[in-house]
Copies of this chain bind each other. A is one copy, B any other.
Amino acid sequence: MVGAGFGGLNAVLSLARARVRVTVVDRRNHHLFQPLLYQVATAALSPADIAYPIRAIFRKQENATVLLAEAGSVDRSARELVLSDGRLGFDYLVLATGARHSYFGHDSWEPRAPGLKSLEDALEIRRRILLAFERAERETDRERRRALLTFVIVGGGPTGVELAGAIAEIARHVLVREFRSIDSRESSIQVLEAGPRILPTFPPDLAARAQQALERLGVQVRTGCAVRDVAPDSVVAGDTRIAAATILWAAGVRASPLARSLAVPLDAAGRVRVEPDLSIPGDDRIFAIGDVATLDSAAGNPLPGVAPVAMQQGRHVAENVKRDLAGLPRRPFRYRDKGSLAVIGRAEAVADLGKVRISGFLAWLAWCFVHILYLVGFRNRAVVLFEWAWAYVTHQRGARLITGSIDRPHS
């Protein structure tokens, strides 16, 4: 099992009673609850609130061993996983290594417009957002001050929408009256989306409601606006150059490079095109699940890269392995879509639950409930619930820290 995200975790837990030995390899010591990562990036939660030690999860699962190690490639002929410091033989291999952001060939943009996939990413984004206000307070030049108070988010999917809403709240509520020479409410927060609308995986009416909610928070949403260049302190979108000290990337993902070493067909984002039973083409002992894999739904569209797909796939792989051991035929994977949620801000969210579509306070409550429910561990649930309640009442944020040097340059 490579990767202890939503997919890997569920696969291993589902194998608890199987007569197999499972080795979990992850280069982190913690499982990360990625759907709340944007709250770490916007100072609402601490890293430890959305992370849980992998070892502690499997303490009582005696057939599971956890290794903190970096997997570099898969040696299919030797049936070994190649680690940065050793090799590990396998009978079955499950690849659940997820994805990073993709800059569509412009890797030089990464330091200028960081994406949000790891805790380190989140802390770097938090540092940049908070530092921009601090620098603006000390800046005497009007133009430069304006750039420091301009926040551009590239990409209008759920992460982009969540980041934009949270930054708007920081500017309009959290920091108000704390500065003496700037008014944080004059900040400009812009979402640039190349497609015709934000939240493209949601129904158009919900996406429109999300856009209105963002605009009520003071966020400018620009659709049909492809980014052509990212410079250290500006972004070129369509024909205009926007001067902005803080540029965040929420536009594209690329599957973990481990997929390439399998030497099987990949899609444009580097994902393995898996068989209906989630194994890779031509090797039924190797599976790929979650964001490192792609599979079409019954309707013919690729399954979305969301946590529920990974979780269900993890459980499905475990099921198929157990069926192998029992001499039964494997079953094809079918995704049970229970709906999608995206949060915009305080008491604002949209929820697509199939037949029912809701927005506003009720959708926000549903979002809070689902996210608390899927967090691992009582401590994390209790702390996150407390932080949300406290933030809701006081308009404050619990983790407004700038760590690392204040003089560290961006790029």
Contact = CB atoms under 8 A, between A and B. Distances in A.
A372 to B, nearest CB: 15
A180 interface: yes
Given A137-B67, A180-B65, A396 B56 contact: yes
B178 A55 contact: yes
Given A46-B49, A68-B137, 5 more contacts: A30-B400, A53-B178, A67-B138, A69-B138, A379-B396
Copies assembled: 2
A383 B398 contact: yes
A134 B46 contact: no
A31 to B, nearest CB: 11
Nearest to A46: B46
Interface in A183-237: none
Contacts of A55: 175, 178-179
Contacts of A175: 55
Nearest to A45: B48
A401 B67 contact: no
8 contacts: A46-B46, A47-B399, A48-B399, A48-B401, A55-B179, A66-B178, A379-B394, A383-B383
A29 to B, nearest CB: 4
Nearest to A69: B138
The 3 nearest A-B residue pairs measured at CB:
A48-B399, A46-B46, A55-B178
A284 interface: no
A272 to B, nearest CB: 25
A404 interface: yes
A47 B49 CA distance: 11
Interface in A359-411: 378-379, 382-383, 386-387, 390, 394, 396, 398-404, 406-407
A166 to B, nearest CB: 16
Nearest to A175: B55
B407 A70 contact: yes
A40 B387 CA distance: 19
Contact of A120 (B47, B394, B403): B403
Interface residues of A, number: 54
A84 B405 CA distance: 13
A287 to B, nearest CB: 24
Given A49-B46, A65-B180, A68-B134, A29 B401 contact: yes
Interface in A166-185: 175, 177-180
A192 to B, nearest CB: 28
A406 B396 CA distance: 34
Nearest to A49: B46
B84 A51 contact: no
Contact of A401 (B119, B179, B387, B406): B119
A201 to B, nearest CB: 31
A178 B59 contact: yes
A28 interface: yes
A403 B119 contact: yes
Nearest to A51: B401
Interface string A118-134: 01100100000011001
